[in-house]
Chain A
Amino acid sequence: MKKFKFNFFKKPQVILVLLTLICAGTIWLSSMNQSVSAPLRTVAGIFVVPLQRGMNQIGTWFSEKNQERISLKDALSQNEQLQKQVAELQAEQAQHANDDDEISRLRQLLNLKETYNAYPTVGATVIMKNSGNNWYRKFMIDKGTNDGLDVDMNVIATAGLVGIITDIGPNYAIVTSIIDEESKVSGMLRKTLDTCIVAGDMSAIQDGKLRLEYMSNNFNSDVDNTVVTSNVSEKFLPGIVIGKAVDVMLEDNKVTKTGYLIPAVDFEHLKDVLVITTKKQTLSDEELEKIQEQLIEPSTSEDEVKETKPETSTEPSSEETTKPTEEESTQPQTSASESSSEASSEQQKEEQSSQASSAQSNGDESSESPVADSIQADFQAVPDEE
């Protein structure tokens, strides 16, 4: 009887049914809780990721050789120089656009700019693009929980938004880029703060565009059409450039406009990215409080900012490289342990404003440096880190 039962379990159909049940179980469990797949991630992190990094270096060597074959070496170096110049000019232009906005805005909006002009970032390299299949547009970077990263952290490049971390292991992270079908980013026009939705679309990306939906009816393409991440996004920090809106036309419902968006980042040649280590979810409480305070009593909040500024100017101007790791370690701890008490929120606000103003004093740029400019400064600091 026992022997018969054991032979029964060896039948392929029975194994198939068992495996189906196990798989359905793991799919259900891991869709609810990320920690189920932790053993797979550690094993993969030990065996696969280092090999992949090595292969990626070989691959970049190959692609570089290929490029040298196609174009002359001189043309290549000139191209690099021109690209650097273009990146610098883009950052400068973004700064000027933001300055214009600040001059024409109310004082409350001016204080608002100070809350999100300098995010702490960690540099990372892309080690695998398109995750080996053609249905999803996800890529893998070589930093993970060991470097302080976590799920839902935004990923940016020099020009703008790239994606968001959706899966993480000890020494790798998988980023869903904004051109993926499933990705929907809540954006807003930088000039008018009208919200819209930026969605990835399979046929649009063949022309290098994303779909832009639910744009307000009074969008005017003569005015500046840069789209940035909006305040009301659940996972994306506000103020990050996504791209430029083009071809916007009125929908049949005569209420919203739909069009296309040309992303600011070149997704074909993505190599180095920055991960913003502040999460929107942890930022929202203190930011909301600061916004509310500024709307109600603008003078007192201004005094608060002025008070914290002389405090932090006496701090030793630590390098930008050590600041991010410091802030990474303190922010998640404080935000996790003390969630809603007032004293802690004030402490976080002070940390936030001190971090913002000290980042300004570190960067030594103009006092209201916009996001793109600080991103540029951080990106230039990354080679020093390595």
Chain B
Amino acid sequence: MKRLRQVIVIMIVLLLGFFIQINFAQFIPSLSCVPNIMLIIVFSLGFLRGPKVGMAVGVAAGLFMDFVQGNIVGFYVLIFVYIGFINGVLKRYFISNVILLPLILCTINEILYHGAMYLFQFRKQAVHTATGYLRHVVIPEYLVTLIAAVVVYGMVLLIHRKLEKIEKKGETRFV
């Protein structure tokens, strides 16, 4: 029961995040690039709930992004699984703060994510276009994702606390 509830809630969060990310440009037409909401969900759930949940969320989010990107299945799944796992491992060592933590986490995870994306490009011109990627893709997306991270992390934290409260209530009832 507990696991089913968790799965359903996380799926709803992922679906919402996915559709917002895809249609973001339409609702705010003046934006040049889209915040990476799926990444925020993966790393925040991974950080709050541990490595196993982080990896599961990574698989689901990766499947969503793979579907939209076309061609190769497993590309985003691999990246997001590792991000979920690393953030889950970090759970032991840090206490969750509301404002500063999402910014730090976002920075680290964006570096990981973009580093992986850049490595996977496999182009012989890749070294020359590295600064191009930095200027036009990485920096704008990083800035927008930073702002979105505070908002989305706050919401995920709320959901996480609520889930914990319901689980704890269930446990105390049993006793």
* Interface residues, chain A, with chain B CB atoms under 8 Å away: 12, 15-16, 19-20, 22-27, 30-31, 34, 36-37, 40-41, 44, 48, 51-52, 55-56, 58-60, 62-63, 66, 128-136, 138, 140, 166-167, 174, 181, 202-203, 206
Contacts and interface: CB of A to CB of B under 8 A. Distances in A.
Contacts of B111: none
21 contacts: A12-B85, A15-B55, A16-B82, A20-B81, A26-B73, A27-B72, A30-B73, A40-B63, A51-B19, A63-B29, A131-B22, A131-B70, A132-B21, A133-B34, A134-B34, A135-B117, A140-B68, A166-B71, A174-B68, A174-B69, A202-B129
Given A16-B81, A51-B19, A66-B29, A206 B136 contact: yes
A130 B81 contact: no
Interface in B78-121: 78, 81-82, 85, 88-89, 117
A174 B70 contact: yes
A52 B85 CA distance: 30
B74 A26 contact: yes
A128 B22 contact: yes
Interface residues of B, number: 47
Nearest to B140: A134
Given A132-B65, A134-B140, A135-B137, 20 more contacts: A12-B50, A12-B55, A19-B55, A20-B82, A23-B77, A27-B78, A30-B72, A30-B74, A34-B71, A37-B72, A62-B27, A63-B26, A63-B27, A128-B23, A132-B34, A133-B69, A166-B70, A174-B71, A202-B133, A202-B137
In the A-B complex, the 7 residue pairs with the closest CB atoms: A167-B70, A59-B26, A26-B74, A174-B70, A12-B51, A23-B74, A23-B78
Contacts of B72: 27, 30-31, 37
A131 B55 CA distance: 23
Contact of B19 (A23, A27, A41, A52): A52
Interface of B: 18-19, 21-23, 25-27, 29, 33-34, 36, 38, 50-52, 55, 59, 63-75, 77-78, 81-82, 85, 88-89, 117, 129, 132-133, 135-137, 140-141
A13 to B, nearest CB: 8
Nearest to B36: A133
A58 B52 CA distance: 36
B4 to A, nearest CB: 19
Contacts, number: 129
B69 A131 contact: yes
B70 A23 contact: no
A354 to B, nearest CB: 35
A55 B65 CA distance: 17
B68 A27 contact: no
B74 A27 contact: yes
B69 A19 contact: no
Nearest to A128: B22
Contacts of B18: 132
Contact of A167 (B21, B71, B89): B71
Nearest to B135: A203
Given A15-B52, A23-B77, A132 B22 contact: yes
Contact of B26 (A30, A48, A62, A166): A62
